[in-house]
Amino acid sequence: MERTILNELRKWKQSAHRLPLIINGARQVGKTWILQHFGKTEYKHLAYINFDNRDSRTDSLFQDYNIQRILTLVEAISKVPVVPEETLIVFDEIQEVPQGLGVLKYFAEDAPGYHVAVAGSLLGIMLHKDASFPVGKVDSLSLYPMSFEEFMIAMDERRALDILRSGDWQLIDSMHGFYMDMLRQYLFVGGMPAAVKACTEQRGVLEVRRLQEQIISNYRMDISKHTTRTEVQRINIIYDSMPAQLARENKKFIYGAAAKGARAREYEGAIQWMEDAGILNRVYAVQKPALPLRFYENRDAFKLYFSDCGLLGAMTHTEPFTLLQNSSVFEEYKGAFVEQFVLQQLRLSGLPIYYYSRENAQMEIDFLLQKGDMLVPIEAKSGNNLKSKSLNQYRQINHPALSVKTSVLPYKRNDDLVNLPLYAVGLLPKMM
């Protein structure tokens, strides 16, 4: 399956200032596959070592930071030649070796000609806690669930994707029904590679849902394995409360709605753990819609989203028919699936994403997207009703150069206001 991160990996390989690379991402988003594919297609040799399969040789690999000794052992374990510029060295499940990240500093300083990449489940948690993280000595990339565009490629709809990317809205509008059908499929399948592969192989909706439920089960096993009993309980309470909180009119996360009497000081660690693990996405509010948004971040107010819309469907036991055939999915659950989809696609841009709320004025902007000196308010509309009191009020006060409603309706532009069909929301960063 084609992943757009390959372009970033190629840039990393060619960079004159290349450093050892860390691939971040949730479990089962495809980190191992992408590194192996990259090594096999872009290098003469791939030296792959998985620390999940530990033995006496792998245990001794990082006993010290002697790079020449490590390189000799890498050759012996992987059984491939390790040649500067010609071999990609991959250390997978690096979190299983406590000193694994520390060795990257010495590759950067003592052996810059060697190309080294590392990945691992829950690596984000390790990076967050590890005081010995080699600051300034590594590059990093994040891998997320497959985007809607990547899903279309996997479904062998590359030509239709080319048309969507062209920005020829007259032609795109003529295919509106087709793109909406593809969007419904994506809302059900989501972007987890195993689920997408099952869909492309036509293994049926029950198999797709089984795989999604297995991923959720694996997440819960990770939680139980890697944290304390008290924290496990709190993490599960937060995770289980997320669907109901997303289905509320005001999607701001409320601790008391997760558990009676819950307080931020008790549950913030649980949310941070899941965020570091890539299990959820957190979007903070801003106190003022001004540049740069980070200056006005309100860390006491936020919304929580799942990492993937397919997992949201599995968590809520939403019937496949509802997602695949019934247009009411865009209206029910207070637009939870719509906002989840929009956030999931926008996050791939790497741009700052917030939301803005003024309760006294009954105004809430679902998302604010910042690119350079441009700030775009985005309203994720469910159903066919495009009325938006909040967005109109925001425009009157702030006069943005571009405002966006994203909905199930075709493209339409009126001065600064654009109605962008949901299936085209991934194009928005390039329109800014």
Q: What are phi and psi of 427, to 5 degrees?
A: -80, -15
Give mean pLDDT, residues 102-110: 94
**Proportion of the chain above pLDDT 90, given as a percent:** 83
- Is residue 36 exposed (0-12), middle (13-18) or buried (19+ Cβ within 10 Å)? middle
Q: What are phi and psi of 147, to 5 degrees?
A: -75, 170
Please report which confidence band the pLDDT of residue 283 belongs to, taking 50, 70 and 90 as the band edges: very high
Q: Distance between CA atoms of 268 and 307, rounded to whole angstroms? A: 18
Q: Which of 36, 92, 8 is nearest to 350 (CA)?
A: 8
User: What would the pLDDT profile of 51-102 be if each residue is shown by its tens digit?
Assistant: 988 787 888 899 899 999 999 999 999 999 999 999 999 999 998 887 888 8
The whole-chain average pLDDT of the chain stands at 93
Q: What are phi and psi of 421, to 5 degrees?
A: -60, 145
Which domains occur in the chain, in start order?
A: 5-142 (3.40.50.300), 148-431 (no CATH)
User: What pLDDT does residue 131 have?
Assistant: 47
In Å, the largest CA–CA distance within the chain is 67
Helices (H), 286-375: 309-315, 320-324, 336-347
Asked if 431 and 402 touch (Cβ cutoff 8 Å), the reply is yes
- Is residue 414 exposed (0-12), middle (13-18) or buried (19+ Cβ within 10 Å)? exposed
User: What pLDDT does residue 128 have?
Assistant: 60
Provide the 10 A C-beta neighbour count for residue 316: 18
Give mean pLDDT, residues 301-329: 90
Give mean pLDDT, residues 423-431: 96
Please report which confidence band the pLDDT of residue 332 belongs to, taking 50, 70 and 90 as the band edges: low
Give mean pLDDT, residues 138-160: 97
**Which stretch of 23-27, 237-241, 355-359, 405-409 has the lowest confidence by average pLDDT?**
355-359
Q: Is the pLDDT confidence value at 322 over 60?
A: yes
User: What pLDDT does residue 127 have?
Assistant: 66
Handedness of CA 123, 124, 126, 127 (dihedral sign): positive
User: What would the pLDDT profile of 8-20 be if each residue is shown by its tens digit?
Assistant: 999 999 999 999 9
User: What pLDDT does residue 365 have?
Assistant: 96
Provide the 10 A C-beta neighbour count for residue 185: 19
Give mean pLDDT, residues 191-206: 97
Asked if 333 and 242 touch (Cβ cutoff 8 Å), the reply is no
Asked if 424 and 411 touch (Cβ cutoff 8 Å), the reply is yes
Please report which confidence band the pLDDT of residue 129 belongs to, taking 50, 70 and 90 as the band edges: low
User: What pLDDT does residue 60 have?
Assistant: 87
List, in order, residues 6 or more apart from 103 with CB less than 8 Å away.
Answer: 62, 65, 67, 70
Q: What are phi and psi of 366, to 5 degrees?
A: -60, -45
User: What pLDDT does residue 1 have?
Assistant: 86
Task: Give kind and range of the element (H or E) at residue 200.
Answer: helix 193-200
- Is residue 321 exposed (0-12), middle (13-18) or buried (19+ Cβ within 10 Å)? exposed
Cis peptide before 410 (omega within 30 of 0): no
Q: Which of 72, 75, 74, 66 is nearest to 110 (CA)?
A: 66
Q: Is the pLDDT confidence value at 156 over 70?
A: yes
Task: Give kind and range of the element (H or E) at residue 358.
Answer: strand 353-358
Give mean pLDDT, residues 116-122: 91
Pick the residue with more confidence: 125 or 200? 200
Q: Distance between CA atoms of 275 and 282, rounded to whole angstroms? A: 7
User: What would the pLDDT profile of 370-382 be if each residue is shown by its tens digit?
Assistant: 999 999 999 998 7
Please report which confidence band the pLDDT of residue 39 belongs to, taking 50, 70 and 90 as the band edges: very high
Task: Give kind and range of the element (H or E) at residue 188.
Answer: helix 176-189
Q: Is the pLDDT confidence value at 341 over 90?
A: yes
User: What would the pLDDT profile of 381-405 be if each residue is shown by its tens digit?
Assistant: 877 667 789 999 999 999 999 999 9
Asked if 369 and 375 touch (Cβ cutoff 8 Å), the reply is yes
